[in-house]
Structure 1
Amino acid sequence: MKPNHKGTAQIFKNPVLERLTRTHIALPIAIFMVIAVALIYYGLLHGFITVLSAVALFLVGWFLFTFVEYMAHRHLFHMDTDTEVKKNIQYTFHGNHHDYPKDKSRLAMPPIVSLFLASFFFFVFKLIFGSAVFGILSGFLFGYAIYLFVHYAVHAYAPPKNFLKILWIHHSIHHYKHDDKAYGVSSPLWDWILGTMPPEKSK
């Protein structure tokens, strides 16, 4: 199916499940922003991190998110659909977005999934980074919020006349010219490093 500027996909026949696949973009962005601020505040208040380390860890977390975003988009959302199960999973998570890229209600995961992901990353990062989790996860979730904002702006609005135009063009190339290139949404950094920059931009 070719990308359609209008319309929406039906993912579930059950109306309740179908409704849960949709959300207003402001809700998950607000959730991640609030949690990011709360983590920094809690970490500073209880002495788990200092102001200086909070800034450094925040930037590390944000940088880490750009890599996770790229890898998830490339290898999970664009997985090989060589079985019916993989095909259904890929379409549910991402394929429907390529069929209907202008469907504003499906440009972010639902709030319940957002909260689950935030909790999941907290426990994983706590296990790996210890008390540094309060700074790293804050930056990571902030990066997630920025990703959601950029992704929504690209699909909901015309090309801006500022620095976001670069990201708008980059992601539009992924949707309308090369779906095996330009996996980075909030940053083209990893496309450049890992060799998936579109031909138009790699020259």
Structure 2
Amino acid sequence: MRMKNLELFMGVHHLVDWSKPMLAQIGSLKDKYSDWVNKPVDRPLRLFGPWYLEILTKTPWWVVPSFWVPVILYILYNETADFQTKAINTIIGAFIWTLLEYSLHRWVFHVETRNAGRWLCTFHFLMHGLHHKTPFDPYRLVFPPFPALIIAMIIYAPISVIATYPRVLLAGGLLGYLAYDMIHYYLHYGNPRLWHLYQMKRYHYQHHFVHHQLGFGISSPLWDFIFGTPIHLRKLKYLLKW
């Protein structure tokens, strides 16, 4: 009974050694992983032991537009379609991204981890659990370009078979992804004045700290309402100061 009370007092943070690399410890959490990962902390977290691996897990926000804006412009510039066709397919690609954003966030990043095995918990932590555990880490809020490039190539494969202008659709999807990543960073570190971004910041914070299995839309709650996973925000009598 005394040990149980101590665990309740300390929460689940004592289950790992914060002075050691975290990734190697995730598998040992077993059935406690789901509770542990959904209790955020504001403290440094080291993922790998070797510095040359650890540095690869950290991405300043400006790296993402610096990498993807030239790629998007290059694709659109070298496409032979006329301007109207490019514009329409770019918009379609960006809209498709919003569904992909929701789907990845809900069914991949928030895969059920209760009673999950060592490898699934480790995969979840690498993909998204790390962000939920340390949501205030400014270097782990955007997705590193290299793994994002691999995912983009995988997604492009079926598009290239079925679409008339697959490269333009890809450019539109990448544009949507870029907007999402920048919005996501801003929701964590910005002080929005525009109504939509202000509401999305409240929405996203509710997802992080209260409703982990709701509110999967980052740039927009559209697909949450369509699929029945919205977070209904309480009307405030005053503006929050972030």
With the length of structure 2 as denominator, give the TM-score of the two structures: 0.75
Deviation at 1:29, TM superposition (A): 2.3
Structure 1: distance between partners of 2:212 and 2:66? 29
The amino acid of 1:78's aligned partner reads H
2:16 alignment counterpart = none
Aligned pairs (5 A) from 1:1-203: 1=36, 2-4=39-41, 6-43=42-79, 47=80, 49-81=81-113, 82-130=116-164, 132-158=165-191, 160-162=192-194, 163-200=196-233
Q: Distance in 1 between matches of 2:136 and 2:163?
A: 38
Greater than 6 Å deviation, 4+ residue runs:
none
Shift of 1:134: 2.2
Structure 2: state its 5+ residue gaps. 1-35, 235-242
How far apart in 1 are the matches of 2:49 and 2:161? 39
Q: Quick one: distance in 2 between partners of 1:52 and 1:111?
A: 29
Residues 141-165 of structure 1: per-residue CA shift (max 9 Å, x gap)? 000110111100011123x111311
More RCO (CA 8 Å, sep 6+): 1
The alpha carbon displacement at 1:72 in A equals 0.4
Output the CA distance in 2 between the equivalents of 1:32 and 1:8: 28
Matched residue pairs, number? 194
- Identity over aligned residues, as a percent? 29
State the distance in 1 between where 2:45 and 2:166 align. Answer: 37
Give the Å deviation of 1:78.
0.6
Distance 2:120 2:44 in 1: 21
**Is the contact between residue 61 and residue 185 of structure 2 (CA under 8 Å) also seen in structure 1?**
yes
TM-align CA RMSD: 1.6
Q: The residue matched to 1:150 in structure 2 has which SS?
A: helix
In structure 2, C-alpha distance between the alignment counterparts of 1:79 and 1:142, rounded to whole Å:
26
Contact 1:22/1:109, CA 8 A, preserved across alignment: no
> Aligned to 1:200, what secondary structure does the other structure show?
coil
1:111-149 CA distance string (max 9 Å, x none) = 32233233333334223324x112211110000110111
